[in-house]
Amino acid sequence: MPLPADFADLEPFLAWALPTERERYAKRLDSSMDEMQEFYDATFPRLEEAIAYCDAFPLDELPDDARALFHLLQSVVMVSFPVEVWKQPRVPDSGAAYLDLVVEPVV
């Protein structure tokens, strides 16, 4: 599924446009820090513009391209702490603990 035309430059990162938190977390754990850094560096500067684009639609009526962009934004959030703070995919000192999101805002 392509992104909106104004965000076509982010299409190399469509593998990050995952609909559920569980999928995004698994992608984070399966990715290297270099992969996450590349994704973060490409998408972070476009966050405000992408949020404004998605905000033009009701959350439950996002067109497919805007929905893909929205999921991409959710993945930026998923990698932000590993990239900015932890410098590793996993939460430091968390052992086997995890949280499981039971309801997604948009799938």
Confidence of residue 81 (pLDDT cuts 50, 70, 90): confident
How many other CB atoms sit within 10 Å of the CB of residue 38? 15
The three-class DSSP label of residue 17 is coil
Mean pLDDT over the full length of the chain? 87
pLDDT at 37: 96
Q: Looking at the whole model, is its pTM more than 0.85? A: no
Sign of the Cα pseudo-torsion (8, 13, 18, 21, in order)? negative
Q: Domain limits of the chain?
A: 9-86
